[in-house]
A = this chain, B = another copy of it.
Amino acid sequence: MMGHATDISRESAARKRILNTATNLFYAEGVHAVGIDRIIAEAGVAKATFYKYFPAKDELVRAYIQEQSRQGRAMTDKIIGRSARESILAIFDLVADAATQPGYRGCPFLNAAAEYPDPSHPVRQAIAEHRLWKHDLLRDLLVADRNAHAETTADILTVASDGLLITSHLDKPTNLRRLIRETVLQILGVPDK
């Protein structure tokens, strides 16, 4: 008897089409470079509908970032299982998976952050939230791996993750998977060899 069929702002087909189109365009070409008119045209949606679900462009950008974060967490949940160390290596395998995909254009969070100078802007805060989640996840895994300096090592792994995402985009190194593995193992310390 209360909000049974349409709960607005969640399960509307038009809203999903907008967010989906925006995601592809924002990632491929950048946030400032893509205008509203282009998004509504490619999503096949009226302008009024757009502004009904996203009162301003920045709200769409924030939704885009939050959706990327949600998908990243879902992917991570799937691959975590066996030992803590194997989980960490699997997380870094995701970097290689992303980087070898056809339309790879770097990390969506880092790219978006570069376009928003103000750290207090909602978009930047959404990015910061995602980064904090990832950092804490790594730290927890390191604790489970009996790492003596989990907090510091999590910092270093964050550095490695960002750097690998950047270098795989801008430098396209040969044998990326080997580079990733060597980088991570050097940070974790090789157990036997």
Determine which of B105, B117, B170 lies in contact with A105 in the assembled complex, contact meaning CB atoms within 8 Å: B117
A131 at the interface (CB under 8 A from B): yes
Which residues 169-186 in A have Cβ within 8 Å of B in the complex?
170-171, 173, 179, 182-183, 186
- Given contacts A28-B117, A128-B170, whether A158 and B152 have CB atoms under 8 Å apart is no
A162 at the interface (CB under 8 A from B): yes
Determine which of B111, B113, B159, B170 lies in contact with A164 in the assembled complex, contact meaning CB atoms within 8 Å: B159
Bound state CA distance, A115 and B136, in angstroms? 29
The count of residues in chain A whose C-beta lies closer than 8 Å to any C-beta of chain B is 37
- Given contacts A115-B32, A182-B156, whether A131 and B163 have CB atoms under 8 Å apart is no
Please name all residues of chain B whose beta carbon is closer than 8 Å to the beta carbon of A160 when the two chains form the complex. 159-160, 163
Which residues 13-66 in A have Cβ within 8 Å of B in the complex?
28-30, 32-33
Determine which of B105, B131, B155, B173 lies in contact with A155 in the assembled complex, contact meaning CB atoms within 8 Å: B173
Contact A167 B155 (CB under 8 A): yes
- Given contacts A32-B33, A163-B163, whether A113 and B155 have CB atoms under 8 Å apart is no
A161 at the interface (CB under 8 A from B): yes
Determine which of B128, B131, B187 lies in contact with A186 in the assembled complex, contact meaning CB atoms within 8 Å: B187
Determine which of B28, B114, B162, B187 lies in contact with A167 in the assembled complex, contact meaning CB atoms within 8 Å: B162
Closest to A114 in B: B114
Closest to A159 in B: B163
Contact indicator per residue, chain A 127-171, by CB within 8 Å of chain B (1) or not (0): 110010001000000000000000010011011111110110011
Known: A113-B170, A114-B114, A163-B163. 18 other contacts (CB 8 A): A32-B115, A33-B115, A106-B114, A110-B110, A127-B170, A131-B171, A152-B182, A156-B179, A156-B183, A158-B167, A159-B164, A159-B166, A159-B183, A160-B160, A160-B163, A162-B163, A163-B166, A186-B187
